[in-house]
Each structure stands twice: as structure tokens, then as C-alpha cells.
Structure 1
Amino acid sequence: MTSISVNSTFVVWLQYFLALIFVSFAAATDFHGVVFDVRSKLTSNERSVISRLKAHDSYRHFYYPLATGVDISVGGSGRPNSLGLYYTKIGIGTPSKEYYVQVDTGSDITWINGIQCQECLKKGYRGMDLTPYDQNASFTGKPVTCHDQICKDINKVNTVHGCTANASCLYHVSYGDGSESSGYMVKDVIQYNSVSGDMETRPENANVSFGCGTIQSGNLNSQDDAFDGILGFGNTNASVISQLASSGKVKKMFAHCLKNGGGIFAIGHVIKPKVNSAHLIPNEIHYTINVTGIAVGAEFLNLSIDSNGTVKRKAIIDSGTTLVYLPKVIYTPLVDKIVSRKSLMGSIVYHDSYTCIEFDGSVDDEFPVVTFHFENSLSSNVYPHDYLFSYGGLKCLGWQMNDMDPSIRDKIVLGDLILSNKLVLYDLENQTIGWAEYNCSSNITLKDDITGGTYLVSAHNLSSAFSLINSRFIRFLVLISVLIIHAI
């Protein structure tokens, strides 16, 4: 019995050693860029269910941080709910398991449902299999304590209140619809696709801290909407992009080009297409820039003075929001100018909080283009076919009055309605954000700032190489174990 125990221990340590070799092998490559193959939850038909669109956005922005255990206050407001727009697949752990996560620039923390979660679903969106994370099943998984820097970053303090020796770092997020996610923080290897050449990727990995959810409630447990978790690309030190950058894995730059059906989400220096950019406003929780003007056709609106006494309006850029939300003093005249044309008189109807028009012609011929102007000559055209949604025989406006959380009610919230079919570049090294109208089914070009090399990237050419390598690695590991056990 003693001999068997020793040999079994030896096998476990050998497996651990081989796992470390695998992780080191996957990591020992130069960085050219990271690409996520993002997909859209919405089809053109699903977008017509307008009664659910505002509910989706309201849930995201009515956010209240709660304290639990060691008084953790979690940043971020995104979650996968009834109309979470874009999701991707990543690998976590050693050996790796695959997880479907919503990609969200409005969320700071990344979290995955944990194996301890009794209420969490086994099946999610469109019947996809959901995979609970098990730290003990990963050779590289380890707990995060309340003394670790990531816990301080989440809590936005230098010392976490009530933190004791070796105590876990807990997180607890509550959303406006009553849904909640809570659990504890862990650190493990996340695997993703790194650009290795034109239209080619290879497996890479990095150690990232994320939440392991043990309790999920409310709409988070709706089978029609559920994913394994969230991949947070928000504007704090706790987000994935900040963690990767602080470890030296990447530059703090990323971009997305989103369209109906999916698109590209890339980390790295995008040099094509060229974009014009504006500076981000410092010390804002979300990615925020100043709006200097809004034109309906050729006629500019009066932005009016906001509660801070300025004629500039702050605008939050959020890929996880569906519509565009405007303060009342902007919303009312904008809608009036759109629907005041003589040909539309008498055809206005209201559905829920939407202004709708009885119209069956060409929307681009009849309705005006709305243009948002920002600092540094950055602008964005929103075309009628983008801001009008079909509902039965009606065309309904995607503009909404901002009646969200009072802390952002004076701000404009720019969601997918204005961000889709554009290459949006977040240059956090220089604290700018910009975009250009672009065909998101085509290629973008990333530059390796170390070698000077450039590489074409397309969402249609992404590799699932890390899955193949991991499956081969697992078979190799099992074979070695069997041979050793047989030998002893």
C-alpha cells in the first residue's frame, strides 16, 4: 500500500510537471495581437422584438454595488441577459476547458459560473452546454486573497476593510432587475488566439484573476439568455485588458468591429483602417468622451446646458448597450425633427416608450441622417436603417430618453445602434477612443510594434488551435500516466 501511494503521488507530480511544460510552451511566443471571434445573439428577426431592447439596457445601467463578507464593492454594470449582444469562446485552466462569455466594454470584472453554484444552469442560450469552473480541477488555478492587489483594485481602496489572513477575495454584484452574481475571486490561465501571421492564429495564455460565481439569481438563471459568464473590457485595473497589459502580455489597446451576426474583437495596435480619435475624459468609470454637437440632417440641435453648467455633453461608449439614450432636453427635439415631415403627419403611434411611424417605403429616402460630433473633429453618422426598427407594420425609433440611474441621466449613452458597422479603437495607452465606418466582414491590419511586422486579421479565419492542442496534450498525459502505472 505504501508503494502504491508513493507511485500515485509521483504520477500526480509528473502530470503537474507536464502541465507546466504545456503552459510554458504555449506562452513562449512573441506577441503580435489577440483576436476574439465574437458572435451576435440577435438575428434580424430578433431585433424586431423592441419591447425587450430597452429592458436589456435598463438592467445593465441600473447598477448598485453591494458589499459582502469583506465589504467588496465591484465595479462594472454589464451582464449576459435577455439581449446581451456579443459573445465569444475562451479556454480557462490546465488542462483547458471552453467557456462561452459575453464580451462587454461596460464591465470591469470577468466572472465565470463556479462548480459550487447549485442554481446555475447546465444549458444556456440556444441549448449550448454551460461549463462550471472548478479551481481544483485545474493545475494552474489558485485562490485570490483579500490582500492581493486585484482585490484592492475591485474595491478601489488601498486596504480591504475587514480583511484577515488568507481570507478569500469576495465579489457581489446586484443589477437593477433584482438579479445578483456573487462568489469569490480566483486566478488561472486564460487561453486565447494570438495573431501569428496573415489570417493565422496560435494559442497563447496568460494568468488572469476573475470571479468564480457561486450564487446567481434572477434573470441570470434564464435558460434563454444564459452564458458561462462575462469577459470584462472595462476602464479599470480589474478588467482583462488592464490585467494583460500590466503583465506585459499586450499593449493597452483593443478594437472591435461589430455587425449583425458577429464581427472582430482584437487586442493590439490596429493600423488599418485609420481612425480619427478623441480624448477620453479622465476619472470616469466608463469610456466617456465629449459630444460637441448633434445634427438632424443639416440642422443642429441645441445641446442645452447640463446640470454642471456646460454645453458639452458627456457620452458613454458601451458595446453592451443596444440603443442610444439621450437626456430629455436632447431627446425631445431630436425625435420631433425626425417625425415632423409632412409626409409623416398623422401616422405617428406609440408602442411602450417607443415612437413609431406607419411607414412602408424606403427609410433612407424619407428620414434624415443623424450626426454626432465630438472633439477633435470626430463624428459619427447614424443612418435611418440603423436607428429605425421594424415592429409589425411600424417603423420605431431606436432613440430613447435617458431615464436610467440618476448618476448618468445627464449623459448620452451610445450603444450598438451607433457602434455597429464601425471599427472602434480604444487606445488606452494614449487615453483616446475613435472609429471609422467599415465593412466588419472584411479584414483589419494589426502591427507588431516590436518587430514592425503587420498582419491581416479576419473573424472568418480564426483558429481553434488551443482546443486541438489541449486535447492532444490530455491524451499524451493519460498515455504517460498509464505507461508509468503499468511499469510500476
Structure 2
Amino acid sequence: MGAAPFPAGILIAAVVFHATVVLSSFPATFHLERGITANYKLKLSKLKERDRVRHGRMLQSSGVGVVDFPVQGTFDPFLVGLYYTRLQLGTPPRDFYVQIDTGSDVLWVSCGSCNGCPVNSGLHIPLNFFDPGSSPTASLISCSDQRCSLGLQSSDSVCSAQNNLCGYNFQYGDGSGTSGYYVSDLLHFDTVLGGSVMNNSSAPIVFGCSALQTGDLTKSDRAVDGIFGFGQQDMSVVSQLASQGISPRAFSHCLKGDDSGGGILVLGEIVEPNIVYTPLVPSQPHYNLNMQSISVNGQTLAIDPSVFGTSSSQGTIIDSGTTLAYLAEAAYDPFISAITSIVSPSVRPYLSKGNHCYLISSRVVLRCGALAFRKFRVKG
């Protein structure tokens, strides 16, 4: 994902090995033989199908299927600065590109007659507007619908006595926001179950229909069709599909950190060995981690551990929808000082719009976003 695609129809040689383990003597020996002969060729589509089945076995963790989504975008704020995926909603299915966000709970997309919604994108992706009236499988969610109460868990739902529609109003940390109403329609996806890929699967889900957008959401340079929230509340798509027995109530998300971008996003658990895990702080609205310390060049910084503690006003969360990493001032200042102390004497640090940058020559400037850290104050 993210790499340049092969030309359509290309034939490439595939090498697949079968391994036999012999345990009759020590040390154990492995006899390898080709599953596909050296002069045999496979179409790229066949090879990709083999890989998808193999990945399905790696990801399978229960009797339910694994739902797979493509991932595009990069971490670099000077290129894209976000990760997004393509969804298909409605009847007939229509494509919608949505930002992947572990810091919010609800899936929403732009709808017709939206005020402030961008109509084109600098990401070179087509933008669509969802129209409930043009999809025969769509239905509006009323205030009396029990599904409306799912949004009340996170204070997202609002009800209008005038039209009895279950609405929402989201405000994000960067000052942007969106409001609209909830609809129910089909989400189309691919699942992997028992090593077999099943295409054209679908399930009804509730999602937001955006009628108003403000702040950075209105800008076209990195515009997408909406936001795909992967939070823990019952309104999230993860929870909705799990309640229908379609996929586990878990997701696996891998972000590629190189310039090619992309990554992996599946609803299901990775069962591949050699993965290092860290526990989440329980009973938190976001995915909070127990951050312990920060080291620069192998040296642990002298930061009061209480800075990393979790409370109602602070904590360390994993948020794929935020471009930069943010540190409390008590951690940020020692971190920047440590970075500055180890850079070459020929490098001159300076501030640009509040960002710490480093001039590495008279003609070349290290981009300020390369540090990818910002400071914020903790309100006591």
C-alpha cells in the first residue's frame, strides 16, 4: 500500500516454499521445496489473492471475520499529514475517502447541501456527497430510535423537537467542527474468514451525515469526505460490526513512517508473534497509555514522572487523527534542550511561528515539522 502499482496484467514469477520440520534428531532440520516451480508464472492478481489469504490467517483470532480496509496518506505534514481510507456506503455503493481517527468515535461523511464542505481536494482524490434520498437502503434516525442513544454516551447526540431527527455536533481539538444528523445505510467491505476472502459483504451501520463544517475541515488542500472514528463507544463502526457478529471488537492499525506512506487497517487482532504490547489505562474515554519517560541519545531526561500521569485534565493518548505529537511544557522544554545540545555546532536553532527549527546551512533549512512535537500547557 502506497507503493507504485505494477502495470495491469503483468506476469511475475512467484516463489512459495513449503517447509517440513524433522524432529527425529537434534538439531531439527528443515527441508524446503518450492510450492511453485521456478519457471511457472502467476498473474499479479493471483499472487495478491494468495497474500490476502495468508494475511487473513495471520490476523484471524476468532470465529468471526476480519474486515480489511486500504490505507493511504503519510505522516509528513508537508505532504499529506494524515492517513485515510476508502469506504463504500449506500445502494448502489459509492466511494468515500475518510480520515482514520482513533481520537473520535463516529463515522461521518459530507452530505448534500452541506455548508462549508470542500468540493475538491489537494490530495487528488474525488470528493463525494452522500444523499440519503438516492439510496433505497438508507433511513433517517429519529430521536426515539434506541440507536440515537448510542451517541449520548459521549454527549454527541442532539435532538431537534422540530424535525425529530437524531443529530450530532462534534468539536475537534484544532478548533474545527461539524454538525449534522445520523442515518443508517449499508457499509460494503471485504472480509477474510477461515483463510478465504469473501468479497461484496455488507452490513447496516449508523453514521453521521454532515450538513455543516467549520475550521480546517473547510480547507481544500487536504480535504477528505469525512472522518472514520475508531473510538471505544458503541456508535463506532468497530462496535457496531462486532454487535452484529461480523468482526471482533478490536482493530489493528499499522502506519508506515516512510515517504511511501500507507499502512494496514483491519477490524480484528494481529496474532503474528514478536509483537511488543503496552497496556492501556482502563476506564478512559480515549486510548491512554502509561508513558514513563523520554530519552534522547540514550539518556533519560530529568522530567517529573507526574507529568505523564493520567487524570481528568492530562494523560498520554494515541490519536491517529493528530498530525503532530504534543508534549506538556514540563516535558517539552527539557526535550528541546536535549535535542539542541546534541546537534552539530554548525547547526543554528531558531524559532519560526513558535516552532523550533534548525538552520543546517546557509541554503538548506531542516523543516520545522521534522521534530513533529508541539508544546501545550496543562490546565490545573
What's the TM-score once normalised by structure 1's chain length?
A: 0.56
1:229 counterpart = 2:226: yes
Aligned length: 310
1:144 counterpart = 2:141: yes
- String of CA shifts for 1:327-358, please: whole Å, max 9, x gaps: 11111112212221374376222222232333
1:216 — aligned with what? 213
User: Given that residues 99 and 226 in structure 2 are in contact (C-alpha distance below 8 angstroms), is that contact kept between their aligned partners in structure 1?
Assistant: yes
Secondary structure of 2:283 counterpart: coil
The structural deviation recorded for 1:41 is: 5.3
User: Given that residues 169 and 177 in structure 2 are in contact (C-alpha distance below 8 angstroms), is that contact kept between their aligned partners in structure 1?
Assistant: yes
- Among 34, 44, 54, the alignment partner of 2:67 is 34
1:403 counterpart = 2:376: yes
User: Given that residues 281 and 288 in structure 2 are in contact (C-alpha distance below 8 angstroms), is that contact kept between their aligned partners in structure 1?
Assistant: yes
C-alpha distance in structure 1 between counterparts of 2:289 and 2:65, whole Å: 29
Secondary structure of 2:335 counterpart: helix
C-alpha distance in structure 2 between counterparts of 1:342 and 1:88, whole Å: 38
- String of CA shifts for 1:227-265, please: whole Å, max 9, x gaps: 111111112222111111122211111111212421111
User: Given that residues 171 and 183 in structure 1 are in contact (C-alpha distance below 8 angstroms), is that contact kept between their aligned partners in structure 2?
Assistant: yes
2:354 — aligned with what? 353
User: Given that residues 184 and 212 in structure 1 are in contact (C-alpha distance below 8 angstroms), is that contact kept between their aligned partners in structure 2?
Assistant: yes
Secondary structure of 1:117 counterpart: strand
User: Given that residues 354 and 398 in structure 1 are in contact (C-alpha distance below 8 angstroms), is that contact kept between their aligned partners in structure 2?
Assistant: no
User: Given that residues 180 and 217 in structure 1 are in contact (C-alpha distance below 8 angstroms), is that contact kept between their aligned partners in structure 2?
Assistant: yes
The structural deviation recorded for 1:198 is: 6.3
C-alpha distance in structure 1 between counterparts of 2:212 and 2:135, whole Å: 21
- TM-aligned CA distance change 1:303 to 1:314, over 3 Å: farther
- TM-aligned CA distance change 1:392 to 1:147, over 3 Å: farther
User: Given that residues 189 and 207 in structure 1 are in contact (C-alpha distance below 8 angstroms), is that contact kept between their aligned partners in structure 2?
Assistant: yes
C-alpha distance in structure 2 between counterparts of 1:359 and 1:201, whole Å: 53
User: Given that residues 143 and 159 in structure 2 are in contact (C-alpha distance below 8 angstroms), is that contact kept between their aligned partners in structure 1?
Assistant: no
- String of CA shifts for 1:376-420, please: whole Å, max 9, x gaps: xxxxxxxxxxxxxxx94336452534326x5xx69xxxxxxxxxx
Greater Cα offset, 338-347 or 302-311? 302-311
- String of CA shifts for 1:177-223, please: whole Å, max 9, x gaps: 65431111001110112125769552221111111112223432322
Mapping for residues 92-241 of structure 1, pairs under 5 Å: 92-117=89-114, 119-156=116-153, 167-175=164-172, 179-195=176-192, 200=197, 202-241=199-238
The structural deviation recorded for 1:273 is: 4.8
1:252 counterpart = 2:249: yes
Letter in 1 for 2:320: S
1:393 — aligned with what? 365
2:345 — aligned with what? 344
Letter in 2 for 1:168: L
- TM-aligned CA distance change 1:126 to 1:332, over 3 Å: closer
TM superposition outliers: structure 1 runs of 4+ over 6 Å? 160-163, 307-311
2:49 — aligned with what? none
Mapping for residues 397-436 of structure 1, pairs under 5 Å: 397-403=370-376
User: Given that residues 293 and 305 in structure 2 are in contact (C-alpha distance below 8 angstroms), is that contact kept between their aligned partners in structure 1?
Assistant: no
- TM-aligned CA distance change 1:244 to 1:173, over 3 Å: same
The structural deviation recorded for 1:38 is: 0.6
Secondary structure of 2:333 counterpart: helix
User: Given that residues 31 and 194 in structure 1 are in contact (C-alpha distance below 8 angstroms), is that contact kept between their aligned partners in structure 2?
Assistant: no
C-alpha distance in structure 1 between counterparts of 2:367 and 2:133, whole Å: 53
User: Given that residues 325 and 372 in structure 2 are in contact (C-alpha distance below 8 angstroms), is that contact kept between their aligned partners in structure 1?
Assistant: yes
User: Given that residues 86 and 98 in structure 2 are in contact (C-alpha distance below 8 angstroms), is that contact kept between their aligned partners in structure 1?
Assistant: yes
Letter in 2 for 1:400: F
Letter in 2 for 1:347: R
Secondary structure of 1:219 counterpart: helix
Secondary structure of 1:243 counterpart: helix
C-alpha distance in structure 2 between counterparts of 1:113 and 1:105, whole Å: 19
1:327 counterpart = 2:328: yes
The structural deviation recorded for 1:319 is: 1.3
C-alpha distance in structure 1 between counterparts of 2:322 and 2:316, whole Å: 13
- Among 239, 243, 246, the alignment partner of 1:242 is 239
1:277 — aligned with what? 277
- String of CA shifts for 1:74-110, please: whole Å, max 9, x gaps: xxxxxxxxx5511111111122111111121112111
The structural deviation recorded for 1:139 is: 1.9
The structural deviation recorded for 1:31 is: 4.2
Letter in 1 for 2:302: N
Secondary structure of 2:248 counterpart: coil
Greater Cα offset, 130-139 or 297-306? 297-306
1:434 — aligned with what? none
User: Given that residues 125 and 227 in structure 1 are in contact (C-alpha distance below 8 angstroms), is that contact kept between their aligned partners in structure 2?
Assistant: no
Secondary structure of 1:270 counterpart: coil
Structure 1 gaps of 5+ residues are: 1-29, 50-82, 361-390, 411-488
User: Given that residues 324 and 374 in structure 2 are in contact (C-alpha distance below 8 angstroms), is that contact kept between their aligned partners in structure 1?
Assistant: no
User: Given that residues 344 and 357 in structure 1 are in contact (C-alpha distance below 8 angstroms), is that contact kept between their aligned partners in structure 2?
Assistant: no
CA RMSD between the two structures: 3.3
Secondary structure of 2:337 counterpart: helix
Secondary structure of 1:271 counterpart: coil
The structural deviation recorded for 1:283 is: 2.6
1:262 counterpart = 2:254: no
Secondary structure of 2:112 counterpart: coil
